[in-house]
Amino acid sequence: MIAGTLPGGRRIDLVVLGCALGLAALGVLFVASATTGTRFQGLAARQAIWIAVGLCAMVAAILFDYRMLLKFSFAIYCACLLPLVYLLAFGARIANVRSWIRFGQFQFQPAELAKIATALLVAYLFENEDDGRLRTSAIFKLGVIVGLPVLLVFLQPDVGLALTFLPLIFVGLYFGGLPAKGWVAIFLIVAVVAGAGWFLLKDYQKARIGTFLNPDADVLGSGYQVRQSKIAVGSGGFSGKGFRGGTQSQLRFLPVQHTDFILAVIAEEWGFLGVILVLGLFAALFLRALKLAQTARDRGGVFLVLGLTGMMFFSVVINASMMIGLAPTTGIPLPFVSYGGSSVATTFLAIGLILGVQYRRFANA
Amino acid sequence: MLRIREDRQAVARRIEIARVAVGAMLSLLAVAYWTVQIVRGDYYFSLSENNRIRAVKITAPRGYVLDRQGVPLVENEPAYTLHLYRREAKDLDASVAFIVDLLGLNPEAVRSRVERGRRDPEFVPIPIAENLGIEEVAAVQARAAEHPEFAITVSQRRLYKHAGAAAHALGYLSEATPEQIKNSNNAYGVGDWIGQKGVEAAYERLLAGVSGERRVIVDSHGREVAEEARLEATPGQNLFLTLDAKLQDVAEEYFKDKVGSVVALDPRTGEILALVSSPSYDPNWFTRRVTAAEWNGLLENPDRPLQNRAIQNMYSPGSVIKPFLAYGALARGLVDPEWRVFCPGHATFYGREFHCHKKGGHGSVNLRDAIKESCDVYFYTLGQKLGVDRIHEILTGFGFGTPTGVDLAFEKAGLVPSEEWARTKRGARWYPSETISVAIGQGPLLVTSMQIARGLAALLEGGRLPTPHLFYSSQDPRTGAQLRYKAEFVDGPGIAPEKLAIVKNGMWAVVNEPGGTAYGSRAQGIEMGGKTGTAQVVGHDTTIKADADKSRLDTHAWFAGFAPVSDPQIVVVVFVENGGHGNLAAAPLAKALVEARFGTGAPAAAPPVPSVRAAATDRQGVARATRRETP
């Protein structure tokens, strides 16, 4: 096992850490490429600061016993949901969304932290659901635990961020052992809710879904983003147009290119090779994290790793699909790579928790 | 403990499945990217190229037009246009208010232009005002920091330096009409300027040059970021005209308050030295976009300023036709130079009485004196001897009845009647009495000034018809290489010198002998010959009675002259519409033109073409728009 040694002779997994750092470095590089010479200039440096913050949080999470966090997960969950309530009641709208809290010149999205807290509480739930079958009460609890923050974030309204909580339900149900007839029931419920939800969506959200289904219908409106992103990705070819050589990104045909569409920048400038590099790093990270989950010393640790990994995986798949029009543009960033302080910092915090579980995998540790 | 172990195994199994699923999912994504980037990569690459590259036309600087000495007649001047870039404007209403206030524009007009511009994509600038003055340009540029939404672009505008002078020779520019665009094979687009009439139209391709193209890289706002490739425009050729600005000025001045035309040409080559049609118009109107009032003024003016009277209007030539008939009769041996006719002031032909312009009669006149005194009775008699078909033969030999081929559009052919013409075209047989009228330049006979000038040149220069032309030479503004016009001729009647001498002597006497009809217009220091004409106003298809009242004030005045008599170097045809008598209204200008032509002393043979290279190089690239800042 490739591992690094921390003081005290215990080892942490270097594959997970290395992949995370590699992706974060790529992120800084391409945020720089996408923002140099624009009004966003200087964001790469900020991103680096946030990575540093995230690394501190990561180290703290490794050193702090995750069992304590699980024990107090309900309190943490409540503490993290409070700012979301506060935001809905008093928050200032930034980009028409109430999801940011300002600290001086930095902004933070409390919902990102709420993701971690929710994952902790879900893990704590399954820590005690250990009798080999998934009880209906547990499913109900799972629904409430995840549903509450989803609702709060959905009302901000930040649909993309709200969606990133949902993998926790899937993780709980699947790894908790939901039988086949349970999946059928859930599928039916989801279908009904989705049908009803269509009437609750805002017009622009409906437009995005419509655009996803038929991107050529509205080339200059919401179809524009998808189209320009596809052109950026496709025109990159095998080896790309070279760093800072992407015409789609450097001439700003790409929308929000340093945040949600950063992968399109990489795909344009480094081509298919760049995409393979990114997807390869993620693949190594996820496969390794799942392996680590198997070695966790307790059921809470298993579900914590699975929940955190599941959320990350979901974001990666949706984001990468978005770039080439395989998923609607929902505002889900690419973990580690997209610009966004709260996202990067909490992703490293999640890595810290995963590594903490691995660090304490032996019962005597 | 066992229970938990079993459960761990179940979870471990599910994790194994999840690992496979994760690997498969990411591989599928990789395949999807492969399809987009490798399989369809070329397609998307071309789309990204289309995204970023725009082709921008570089309009070639249009060639100058100069007279034969290099005096500039038409140049280009910078024209400033104010554009509004909507993307830069924070508040459109505030921007409009600002510019209306700064330049004192009409707020309604500006607002309606902005409204119209809203239909275009946002990056297309909206033109707000054209032809700004230099102070206005400075005022806008001084506020550029606070109002980056306004930008000035520079383009080249045609400048006719002497307003209405030689307007009919020069023509004018206007935006290409839909038919012109359709027929141009994509060379012209909407909003492109194209020569209309005059040499601007005749030598459009030479003057216009070949436009170039810039391939520029633009950002998603359509703003120019960099230039990728540049194909320079080939500037238009400078065009030297055969016109002599000095003679042109004299003629323009004379026609300031008259209606009519002047053609002066070199009989040896057909080079047009002066060409005036009055009333005139200012070609600059069209490049500044004519206002409705100006346009209606031009169209409703009964004197039709847009028509070139020297080639488009046909008139009865009156007595200026007499020398041609006299020579024709001599050359055919029908009359002897000393054959005499007694003029009592009137004569009877085919049962009708025809009057001479001199009531008391000229007495006994021979051919020379008949020309000198313009004796109508002599020519009535001569006409009777010739008959209409021979008259037709003589006059068509001198080019009447066919367009001269001058390098100007819309030229009329005129009409030389014959018995066949009467039968087939008119549908009424020819009356012999009509021949009597035609013999003094009346009746159905219709000519243009240009035809008289060419015919006279042919008579004086051995019988071949020089094709009148305005093209003297063209010059490439970059290399200075010149292209000279080679004189062209149409075969005409051969001229017998000894017979021509008799006619020329008569025309000399018209001006230089007491009793000649234009004796008052003797030129100083040079011998001019010529023939006066006073034409009655007739309709094209009207046969007029020879005894019509000749003292009517609305007769047209003609004079066709040449100088020097011994070696003609200039032919002048002056026509004054409703001018009265040719000797009083037309001949004085011919005298002035001849004096201007030779007045300075030795006749200039082939004047050297001065170089306009310096002027040409400094206007290259001026047409570039002022560069806009890109953030």
Q: Does residue B630 sit at the A interface (CB-CB below 8 Å)?
A: no
In the 3-class helix/strand/coil scheme, how is B165-214 assigned residue by residue?
A: CCHHHHCEEEECCHHHHHHCCCCCCCCCEEEECHHHHHCHHHHHCECEEE
| B38 contacts in chain A (CB < 8 Å) | 237-238, 272
| Residue B3 sits at the chain A interface (C-beta within 8 Å) | yes
* Closest CA relative to residue B551, chosen from B583, B580, B519: B580
Active site residue B319: yes
B34 near A CB under 8 A: yes
Taking an 8 Å cut-off on Cβ atoms, the answer to whether B45 and A234 are in contact is yes
Average pLDDT over residues B134-138: 88
> Who among B3, B23, B37 is closest to A234 (CB)?
B37
End-to-end CA distance of chain B: 68
ipTM score assigned to the predicted complex: 0.90
| Average pLDDT, integer, range B570-599 | 89
Cα-Cα-Cα-Cα dihedral sign, residues B90, B92, B93, B94: positive
| Interface touch A313/B22, C-beta < 8 Å | yes
Given A237, A253, A306, which is nearest B220 (Cβ)? A253
Residue A107 backbone dihedrals phi, psi, to 5 degrees: -120, 150
Q: Pick from B606, B592, B590: which is nearest to B242 by CA?
A: B606
Q: Is B51 on the interface with A (CB under 8 A)?
A: yes
Q: Which residues of B touch A283 (CB under 8 A)?
A: 22-23, 26
Cβ of A275 and B32 within 8 Å? no
Q: How many CB pairs under 8 A join A and B?
A: 136
Q: Give the active site residue among B174, B316, B319, B437.
A: B319
Q: Which residue has the higher pLDDT, A106 or B167?
A: B167
C-alpha distances in Å from residue B164, one per residue of A107, B148, B280: 71, 40, 6
Q: Which chain A residues are closer than 8 Å to B120 by Cβ?
A: none
The 10s digit of each residue's pLDDT in A70-110 is 999 999 999 999 988 888 887 777 666 677 777 666 677 88
Please, which pLDDT band fits residue A271 given cuts at 50, 70 and 90? very high
Q: Which of B22, B33, B52 sits opposite A286 (nearest CB)?
A: B22
Go through the domains of chain B in sequence order and give each one's CATH number. Answer: 245-287+303-598 (3.40.710.10)
Q: Do A130 and B43 touch (CB under 8 A)?
A: no
Place of tokens 């990728």: B228
Contact B365, B382 (CB under 8 A): no
pLDDT in tens, A141-172: 999 999 999 999 988 878 888 999 999 999 99
Band the pLDDT of A313: cuts 50, 70, 90.
very high
pLDDT in tens, A2-49: 455 555 556 889 999 999 999 999 999 999 988 876 677 788 999 999
Q: How far apart are CA B479 and CA A27, in angstroms?
A: 57
Contact present, A48 and A60 (Cβ < 8 Å) = no
CA separation for the pair B265, B543 (Å, rounded): 32
Q: Are B347 and B377 in contact (CB under 8 A)?
A: yes
Compute the nearest-CA separation of B40 from chain A (Å): 7
Percent of chain B topping pLDDT 70: 90
Indicate if the pLDDT at residue B296 is higher than 90: no
- Kindly report, residue by residue over B1-19, the tens digit of the pLDDT: 444 545 678 889 999 999 9
- Mean pLDDT, residues B345-372 taken together: 92
- Mapped onto helix, strand or coil, the DSSP state of residue B354 is strand
B14–chain A nearest CA distance, Å: 6
Of A234, A235, A282, the CB nearest to B26: A282
Stretch A46-60: mean pLDDT, rounded?
94
- Quick check: A130 and B49 CB within 8 A? no
Residue whose C-alpha is closest to residue B611's, from B232, B61, B241, B66: B66
For residue range B386-400, list pLDDT tens digits in order: 999 999 999 999 999
Write out pLDDT tens, residues B51-78: 787 778 888 899 999 999 999 999 998 8
Cross-chain Cβ contact B26/A279 below 8 Å: yes
A320: nearest CB among B18, B29, B34: B29
Summarize pLDDT for B439-463 with one digit per residue, the tens: 999 999 999 999 999 999 999 998 8
B552 contacts B441 by C-beta, under 8 angstroms = no
Chain A partners within 8 Å of B631 (Cβ): 39
**What is the pLDDT at residue B544?**
43
B230 Cβ partners below 8 Å, 6+ apart? B58, B212, B213, B214, B215
Cβ contact A217:A210 at 8 Å: yes
pLDDT the model gives residue B611: 41
Closest by CA position to A14, among listed A284, A306, A274: A284
Peptide bond into A157 cis (omega under 30): yes
Nearest to B316 by CA among B226, B384, B234, B415: B415
The alpha carbon torsion through A335, A336, A339, A345 (nearest 10 deg) reads: 100
